[in-house]
Amino acid sequence: MRLKLFAIAGFAVALAGPAAGQAYDPNYPVCMHVFQGKFGGSYIDCSFTSIPQCQASA
């Protein structure tokens, strides 16, 4: 039973391709998740070149 499970799992891993993530601008590698209040929603702001710059605007 375990051999069958491992065979299925191994086959699934072999067929899986790389996951595609969100592509952000490499010139601004630091992002901040911004929340806009209780009902305002949220967005990701990727306009920072360093973590200290991001911390200053948080």
Per the domain annotation, does 2 fall within a domain?
no
pLDDT given at position 39: 85
Whether residue 34 lies inside any domain: the answer is yes
Number of H helices, E strands in the chain: 2, 2
Region 4-11: mean pLDDT is: 78
The residue range of the domain holding 44 is 25-58
- pLDDT tens digit sequence for 13-37: 777 777 776 677 889 999 999 998 8
- Counting the structural domains of the chain, the total is 1
Q: Distances in Å between the alpha carbon of 33 and those of 36, 52, 54?
A: 10, 15, 11
Closest listed residue to residue 28, CA positions, set 50, 57, 52, 56: 50
- Is residue 39 in some structural domain? yes
Q: Identify whether 19 is part of a domain.
A: no
